[in-house]
Amino acid sequence: MKVHSSFETLYTSSEISEQVSRVAFEITRDYEDRCPLLIGVLKGSFVFMADLIRLLNIPLEVDFVKVESYGSSTISSGVVNFIQGLSSSIEGKEVIVVEDIVDTGLTVNHLLSSIRDMGAASIRLCVMFEKQLKRGFLVPIDYLGMTVPDKFVVGYGLDYKGQYRGLSNLQILELH
């Protein structure tokens, strides 16, 4: 059976970059002279991370973790797998976790507790997109880009089956 899909632009690239600039301003203000370690959650966060760090006016370090919860589905599997860990110790570091999107909160919830166990001095959460209707874990987001409706979105780093990460707009993907 052929799968038909349609796209609808939710946010344009200029609407997105306006909010990334605001988030960068907030982090710059809060972390003046503190050299935070930004930990990006792969793969989805790499576009947001690249834009964000170039707007931060502070010394900083960057690392990535690879986490998988969805596989190739559009619905959360409820299981979080850590596929690739951090490249160096985070003990005593001021960590900012950078995530593309929070849906149920399961992924970041797991990640934040693991990072807490690794001895970070402080941990904050920076999320580009938050789904409005949350069904699971309450996660305190310190820096938020934009909220999105409870639909599956692609673009700005977010994929469907590995595709569409390079779209500069955020699109709602409907499969029928």
Binding window for ligand 5GP (CB under 6 A); candidates: 9-17, 25-33, 46-54, 104-112: 104-112
Is residue 101 at the binding interface for ligand 5GP, with CB under 6 A as the rule? yes
Among 60, 153, 167, 170, binds ligand 5GP (CB under 6 A): 153
Among 76, 141, 144, 169, binds ligand 5GP (CB under 6 A): 76
Binding window for ligand 5GP (CB under 6 A); candidates: 8-16, 21-29, 82-90, 95-103: 95-103
Residues 38-67 vs ligand 5GP: string with x where CB under 6 A? Answer: ---x--x-----------------------
Q: Are 119 and 147 contacting, i.e. CB atoms less than 8 angstroms apart?
A: no
Residue 144 identity: L
**Residues 138, 58, 38, 149: is their CA dihedral positive or negative?**
positive
For the purposes of burial, counting CB atoms within 10 Å of the CB of 138, is it exposed (0-12), middle (13-18) or buried (19 or more)? exposed
Element (H, E) at 109: helix 106-117
Element (H, E) at 152: none
Q: Is 59 helix (H, G, I), strand (E, B) or coil?
A: coil
Give the binding site for ligand 5GP (CB under 6 A): 41, 44, 69-70, 76, 99-107, 152-154, 158-160
